[in-house]
Amino acid sequence: MLNFKNSKKIIILFLMPALAFYLCLEIYPAFRGIFLSFYKWKGIGGSEFKFYGLNNYFEVFKDPVFLLSIRNLMRFLIVSLITQLPIALLIGYLLSLGLKGTRFFKITFYLPMILSVTAISLLWKLILAANYGLLNSILTSVGLEGLTKAWLTDPSTSFNSIILINSWIHVGFYMVILLAAILGIPEDIFEALKLDGANGVVVFFKIIIPLVREMIGVCIVLIMTQTMKTFDLIYVLTSGTFGPNDINQVPIGLMYYKSFIGDNFGNGSAISTLVLIFGVTISAIVYMKVFKENTSN
Amino acid sequence: MRKSIKKIVSILLVVVMFTAVISMFGCGKNDPAKVEKVTLRYATHYSTTDPMFAVRNAVIEKFKKDNPNVTIEDENMAATQYHDKLKTEIASDTLPDIFTNWGGSEVYEAVKAKKLMELTEVLDKDTAFKGIFLDGQFKSANLAFKDIEGLYGMPFNNITAGFYYNKDLFDKAGVQIPKTWDELINVVKKLKDTGTIPWAIGGKDGWRVQHLQTALAYKMYGTKLGQDLAERKVKYVDTTVDSFKRIETLRDLGAFGPNPASVDFSLEQNMFMTGKAAMNFSLNVYTSLFESDTSEIKGKVGFFPMPYFSEKPEFKDSVYGGGSVVYSLNSKLTGATKEAAIKLLKAFCGMDGQKEFLKANAIIPVVKITDKIDVQPLQQQFVDQLANAKEFAGDLTERDTLPTMLNKLRNVSVGLLNKQLTAEQAAQEMDKEIELNK
């Protein structure tokens, strides 16, 4: 095993390539984006590039589609948290009991995570298609024709469908994290509870949740960052329109639209900066709430 | 003496050998077979079911055979994705060497930033090529850029839209071809009574509804409307509400069947080709598809132009159509690559290529073809519509320099079809887009 004191140079040397990639592909673009948000630029080399102050931000906040995208994002975040986290925790707990078929269910729940999002989106597009989709066909065949809908274009169901598909994809990932955390709880605690006659519900709420609190915090941060950067799923499900008429628009989609369709990299960068600020703030709050309190406890 | 003869012979032999070697080098330089190898990135936007796709492939194959030194990196994808790809490549300065586009606002900024090659020189250097184009073809709106002189796309095809209809279903409903809007509404009602979907429209793909909106707007205000809107002389709310309202009327009548906003373009075509829908307002390029062996309505398809409004007879022959796709070159091209790209451009826009596409009923050509070429009667009606039009123009936003206008028009048109917007709101959204980007 390498000793840091003796092998300092070698360790630093090995870290350099990763650090270089991180700086070039993550940190530099982020700061470049912030820089561009103060400029008026069409995103084409040779076109006008002038300082624009905070005007890009003012323009973005004046745009009703941006405000709609923020509302959508908030809904996306809340529904993702209240669906993914409890389901992942519950499944993780059930799988930790070592019941029959655990391996099968573990793989099944995790499967959507290893498939390409584009493939999954196309699959759901076929399931939810209004005129020939599987879901509507099933509903019709069991006499529930009245419940059939244009799931992906009807304003009342469209965005909810997208959120639930996203939850379906990712719940397996958080399940694995939480399962690992549950399995890490010392066995003697469970044995002691068994002797005290505690039932499953008590174990779940009094032991599991408090002891995997840190991992729940990690999952909250991961769910929020994943949700904020969701682009491909919505892009494919809406055939690249984020509509009809922008109803499924999210800030990342609007950033793409403003930059690449609207030739307005200033506006696009302002949106990405706002998303960055929002993401960092929310993550910091969660971190302070979960980890700091845990440390003080 | 012998020695000196030997010496002279040796010297002569050496001279002959050197001369031969040098002349061989010279030969190598002038040998036409030894031309520089080049690779061209070639990008187009055809779906594989598009009748143009097969002809395009044949033209490419012939070009490769005639130009073995040219390797073609072929990049083709459906139009919806291609629009995004094009914008992304303009922004990232990675445009292909030769590529199709629709001119107009979509490439305006790229033209302004000199990313596209100016092609006047290509025409001037080859007067025979220049002379084959139809009169006025270079004045097409999609080639004219506000404040910018020059030619940045070589015209490839003209398009126009009209109604395809199923003759059997019309007979069954006992209706005739409608000439006016009121007659069209009557036809829709009668077709609906027979249980047929009167009109297939793929409202999920915004361009389908936008084409209809534009065709209606031209029948109400003439093609000058596009120019006036682009120059901000008139507002959308004052000039386009009527056209949006007509779509509302059709939607509420059930003309487009259930959930038209969730029908995509391929399903739209399928509905018409399987006889589930009686009419389809579409582009001329699909004539060969509807008359192909895979079509269940082969031989039963007729054509009629967009009916006019009896209160606006002056715009009876104002038609949606004109210059459509153009071929552009990357301005970075030089030397042999530039020459090869120009050659390929001429293969598509030149006489031979245009004839091939016409034979396949895939385009309305941009060149004067004097040879007798048998064109499907259906395609010929589209050609005649454009030839006899009093005036014609492409998309309503074609002359607009604000790049988001076409997308916005498509979005609000779908929003209207999907009952998210009223006609007034759709027009207001268009004006808001202008206001936001002032």
pLDDT, position B3: 59
Q: Does A130 touch chain B (CB under 8 A)?
A: yes
The minimum CA-CA distance between A278 and chain B, rounded to whole Å, is 24
Q: Which of A44, A131, A239 is closest, CB to CB, to B91?
A: A44
B304 and B328 part of one domain: no
The number of helices, as runs of H, and strands, as runs of E, in chain B is 19, 11
B375 within some domain: no
Q: Does A146 touch chain B (CB under 8 A)?
A: no
Confidence of residue B194 (pLDDT cuts 50, 70, 90): very high
Per-residue model confidence as pLDDT tens digits over B121-171:
999 999 999 999 998 899 887 888 778 899 999 999 999 999 999 999 999
Which of B102, B115, B204, B276 to probe by mutation at the A interface, max A CB count within 10 Å? Answer: B204
The minimum CA-CA distance between B202 and chain A, rounded to whole Å, is 12
Q: What are the phi and psi torsion angles at B116 (to 5°)?
A: -105, 140
Q: Does A279 touch chain B (CB under 8 A)?
A: no
Q: Which of A42, A154, A262 is closest, CB to CB, to B404?
A: A262
B263 and B296 part of one domain: yes
Contact B364, B284 (CB under 8 A): yes
B389 within some domain: no
Q: Does B112 touch chain A (CB under 8 A)?
A: yes
Per-residue model confidence as pLDDT tens digits over B351-390:
999 999 999 888 999 999 988 888 999 999 999 999 999 9
B169 and B288 part of one domain: yes
> With an 8 Å Cβ cutoff, are A130 and B415 in contact?
no
Residue B377: asked if its preceding bond is cis (omega within 30°), the reply is no
Q: Please enumerate in sequence order all residues whose Cβ is within 8 A of that of B306, keeping only pairs 6 or more positions apart, or say none.
A: B161, B162, B163, B215, B216, B219, B281, B319, B320
> With an 8 Å Cβ cutoff, are A153 and B87 in contact?
no
Which of A121, A241, A263 to probe by mutation at the B interface, max B CB count within 10 Å? Answer: A263
The whole-angstrom distance between residue B263's C-alpha and the CA centroid of its chain comes to 22
Confidence of residue B6 (pLDDT cuts 50, 70, 90): low
Q: Does A249 touch chain B (CB under 8 A)?
A: no
B133 and B76 part of one domain: yes
Average pLDDT over residues B420-433: 97
Confidence of residue B248 (pLDDT cuts 50, 70, 90): very high
Q: Does A45 touch chain B (CB under 8 A)?
A: yes
Average pLDDT over residues B226-245: 97
Closest chain A residue by Cα to residue B205: A239
Paired sense of beta strands B277-283 and B326-329, if any: unpaired
The whole-angstrom distance between residue A26's C-alpha and the CA centroid of its chain comes to 18
Range of the domain at B245: 161-321+394-436
B296 and B337 part of one domain: no
B421 and B294 part of one domain: yes
B382 within some domain: no
The minimum CA-CA distance between B234 and chain A, rounded to whole Å, is 22
B167 and B153 part of one domain: no
pLDDT, position B35: 78
User: Among residues B324, B332, B265, which one has the least CA distance to residue B89?
Assistant: B332
pLDDT, position A48: 86
Q: Which of A44, A59, A246 is closest, CB to CB, to B110?
A: A44
Q: Does B45 touch chain A (CB under 8 A)?
A: no
Q: Which of B81, B114, B414 is closest, CB to CB, to A244?
A: B414
Q: Which of B81, B84, B113 is closest, CB to CB, to A44?
A: B113
B59 within some domain: yes
Helix axes B241-253, B206-221, angle to 10 degrees: 120
User: Among residues B256, B245, B218, which one has the least CA distance to residue B398?
Assistant: B218
pLDDT, position B28: 44
pLDDT, position B271: 96
pLDDT, position A220: 95
Q: What are the phi and psi torsion angles at B80 (to 5°)?
A: -60, -45
Rounded Cα gap, residues B194 and B397, in angstroms:
38
Average pLDDT over residues B179-189: 98
The minimum CA-CA distance between B115 and chain A, rounded to whole Å, is 9
B105 within some domain: yes
3-class SS at A97?
coil
Query: Where do the DSSP E strands lie in B251-337?
Result: 277-283, 301-304, 318-323, 326-329
Helix axes B335-349, B351-359, angle to 10 degrees: 40
Mean pLDDT of all residues belonging to chain B? 91
Rounded Cα gap, residues B231 and B140, in angstroms:
17
Confidence of residue B230 (pLDDT cuts 50, 70, 90): very high
pLDDT, position B26: 45
B203 and B333 part of one domain: no
> With an 8 Å Cβ cutoff, are A42 and B109 in contact?
yes
Average pLDDT over residues B236-257: 97
Domain count, chain B: 2
pLDDT, position A239: 87
Helix axes B405-417, B241-253, angle to 10 degrees: 30
Q: Which of A43, A59, A247 is closest, CB to CB, to B91?
A: A43
Per-residue model confidence as pLDDT tens digits over B273-306:
999 999 999 999 899 899 999 899 999 999 999 9
Q: Which residues of A touch B420 (CB under 8 A)?
A: 155, 244-245, 247
Q: Which of B114, B420, B436 is closest, CB to CB, to A46?
A: B114
B398 within some domain: yes
pLDDT, position B13: 60
Confidence of residue B45 (pLDDT cuts 50, 70, 90): very high
B276 and B328 part of one domain: no
Rounded Cα gap, residues A118 and A49, in angstroms:
36
B293 within some domain: yes
Rounded Cα gap, residues A167 and A156, in angstroms:
18
B280 within some domain: yes
- Enumerate residue ranges in chain A where pLDDT < 70: 1-2, 293-297
Q: Which of residues 188-247 of A touch B (CB under 8 A)?
A: 239-241, 243-247
B237 and B148 part of one domain: no
The minimum CA-CA distance between B85 and chain A, rounded to whole Å, is 9
> With an 8 Å Cβ cutoff, are B262 and A155 in contact?
no
Q: State the ipTM, two decimals.
A: 0.86
pLDDT, position B2: 58
The minimum CA-CA distance between A129 and chain B, rounded to whole Å, is 7
pLDDT, position B34: 65
| CATH of residue B152 | 3.40.190.10
Q: Which residues of B touch A245 (CB under 8 A)?
A: 411-412, 414-415, 418, 420-421
pLDDT, position A45: 75
Per-residue pLDDT at B333 exceeds 70: yes
Q: Please enumerate in sequence order all residues whose Cβ is within 8 A of that of A256, keeping only pairs 6 or more positions apart, or say none.
A: A231, A268
Q: Which of A152, A243, A259 is closest, CB to CB, to B91?
A: A259
Per-residue model confidence as pLDDT tens digits over A92-140:
999 999 888 999 999 999 999 999 999 999 999 999 999 889 999 999 9
B194 and B254 part of one domain: yes
B296 and B201 part of one domain: yes
Instruction: Count Cα neighbours of A125 within 13 Å in the Cβ-side half-sphere.
Output: 18
